[in-house]
Structure 1
């Protein structure tokens, strides 16, 4: 019998009842499940638990590390054949998942099998990296044991063999690629970049606004026909947007992760992975959109997963929590100052709404009421302006119309506030800023968006 077999024939060198004390075996440090029995041979450390009432069991087996073959997929296939397939009547492994942590590539897959006329499952996890390969096998015929077994793996730490360097250390020791801040495009306005008080700097680009702080970048992608296209299949939409916005600028996607879609009036879209950028550097990229409210898809580019989590706080993906707020708020950095020269011309906005009434007894239409408004500012030479708003409201056949106008002088104390000398008989000061879309700017005055005619 091979020293890397013997799954169910436990060679009992040490057998004891555990009290959840920290354990060290080969490269692995972990805390085993309490009250599981421990068995040790030279090459295998195994924990087991059984229940005679329903004849259920679970085995958690750690196999001593061996030299890696240099490829995680090859390592996994070899371990599956040598540890699992030779002992159990399993089929090909299913549900293959791959992750990366601290230079270790972690592959997991499982297969059902029959044991003593009952359904069971074998799940193998193989850690490959640093010239080593170490495997952990879970076998059970009852799902209730899995949370404890998974908990051990989730908190297990592997030592880095002496003389090896992690990928993160290799990047730290590599002289950084000097990527200068992008030059802002010249679109004829006074301000194409903004330095915010919290350290973020926004710069207008052709297809996005780039927001940068230290070694983290966020791209606020402008709305476009591909990202705006409706698709009831959330995953299909996300794949299309990823391929359009992210795919062309990176290679070698790995460790891809996605927020599971859910039914909501405000759906969240989140995808992320490790990629290689156009300079050859490894980066962590996340693509995010919340509720399609702003039309913005936000692309987060960080040196690694850890720096992304430190900056934005997103670790565990809970679609219903406020964990996404720091990411969502990055869309607010599409904001640029305004000068008096930028205001020249006519800026307009409009709104229309309708309320339809239905008789609750007959189901027949019982009339409707509508409301519409149009508002515009015309900024003229000599720092003068004309403003007007037209409102129509009421039911069909009895609409009421109102029109209000004002004119006066304007001024600006800074690039974020506009002073109007006469608004319906009183002076007013309103906050003002620009937001960018592809090929144009939107003027925001007192919380309302205006387009230039």
Structure 2
């Protein structure tokens, strides 16, 4: 059994510090033909085949207090147990978390060599917000895969001790404090989404965090955003302006722009943060949507693997849907609306023109124009005034229309406002704020309004 005895001894010595809680296992089925060993802190099941020179060891650890999230519990256990045992450089490949009976489970694995033989280590950590329990699997062969799978499936963890309810799917909770945010005079400067991401208003970006990773949604910048006639030059210029000032050094830097009708800007490097002194893996990204809505996004992860586990591996296909998850991070620029935030005048302007040309002669066939101006003015006592003016038609025959109303509004919740009269009847709109540098955009339905001083 290649080095397995020494590895198990290391396991036992590492985990003698376990707390006095019992195992949180309701039932499990011992694999047939496996040897069972017990200690004050572990249950171990081993099997080896001398002829095939293969082995497998499964170790269950007694429950210990949960430190935080299942991902953080897993990371702590991996560093304190696995890295001491098999390799100082072993990094886990993570699988998606699973939830069952109130327990969240994180699984990761890595390969390593012992005495010239390649082996694999699996770590499974389950947390119920009160306690955590871990299972470690060591093997140098895939012949035990079925037995391992059956054993894992036989384990039933006791019902979670936590009674805390999780947010309803697709809802957001704006009450939990996340971290220090910029006080810009609005009621809500953080948003906690039910998928684990938290958005925080900052001076020059929206900081979106989850566990030990964060993403910076840089605000629009007229100078930087317009510097795009040369895609590579534009990417390097934006990197120098938005990314580089926060770091003291960079290694393994690569710029990988992709040309398409909706081009991709992608750059990566291992960087040392000035603020913390930590080495992080940074990806700088922008998708140039045809609508012009693309934004620069800075991804800051502990390492390349954790980034790829979250967003996938870099692809040189500009049209691949794999870019959507990265681009869609801009959707986390979303903040709730309070009645006190609305007071004042908010306005939205739009104009556009379509030029027509005769397909046969090439002669000018006229231009069709459209322009609109819409305003909300919110006053005391939840009163409002609303007006909309529209001018449209072919040049020389433009028609003008206008409509207005007034009444009272009601903030139904942090994301909906009801107006007593819009074009002759009550209407309820979804409402939210998005942030730009020094200001906010109020969205009423699908229309964005800027505040008029």
Query: Which TM class, normalised by the smaller chain length?
Result: 0.5 to 0.7
SS of equivalent residue, structure 2 residue 235: helix
The TM-score, its normalising length taken from structure 2, stands at 0.59
Equivalents in 2 of 1:315, 1:425: separation in Å? 52
- Is 1:274 equivalent to 2:277 in the alignment? no
The TM-score, its normalising length taken from structure 1, stands at 0.59
1:335 CA displacement: 0.7
Equivalents in 2 of 1:315, 1:219: separation in Å? 19
1:253 CA displacement: 1.5
1:181 CA displacement: 6.2
- Is 1:203 equivalent to 2:197 in the alignment? no
Is the Cα contact below 8 Å between 1:191 and 1:337 reproduced in 2?
yes
Segments of 4+ in structure 1 off by > 4 A?
157-162
Equivalents in 2 of 1:297, 1:310: separation in Å? 21
For residues 160-203 of structure 1, the C-alpha deviation after alignment (integer angstroms, 9 at most, x for no partner) is 999xxxxxxxxxxxxxxxxx965111111111111111111111
Equivalents in 2 of 1:381, 1:314: separation in Å? 53
Which consecutive residues of structure 2, in runs of 5 or more, have no partner in the other structure?
A: 1-87, 89-110, 117-176
Distance 1:229 1:159, change over 3 A: farther
The structure with more radius of gyration: 1
Provide the aligned C-alpha RMSD in A: 2.4
Is the Cα contact below 8 Å between 1:218 and 1:298 reproduced in 2?
yes
Q: How does 1:106-255 map to 2 (within 5 A)?
A: 182-255=179-252
For residues 240-259 of structure 1, the C-alpha deviation after alignment (integer angstroms, 9 at most, x for no partner) is 11111111111331222333
Equivalents in 1 of 2:398, 2:322: separation in Å? 46
1:158 CA displacement: 9.0
Equivalents in 1 of 2:394, 2:451: separation in Å? 31
Distance 1:328 1:231, change over 3 A: closer
- Is 1:297 equivalent to 2:296 in the alignment? yes
SS of equivalent residue, structure 1 residue 342: helix
Which consecutive residues of structure 1, in runs of 5 or more, have no partner in the other structure?
A: 1-129, 131-156, 163-179
1:159 CA displacement: 5.5
Equivalents in 2 of 1:370, 1:225: separation in Å? 26
1:270 CA displacement: 0.8
SS of equivalent residue, structure 1 residue 246: helix
* 2:381 counterpart residue number: 382
Is the Cα contact below 8 Å between 2:232 and 2:255 reproduced in 1?
no
* 2:406 counterpart residue number: 407
1:266 CA displacement: 1.2
1:297 CA displacement: 0.7
Is the Cα contact below 8 Å between 1:393 and 1:399 reproduced in 2?
yes
Equivalents in 1 of 2:243, 2:393: separation in Å? 48
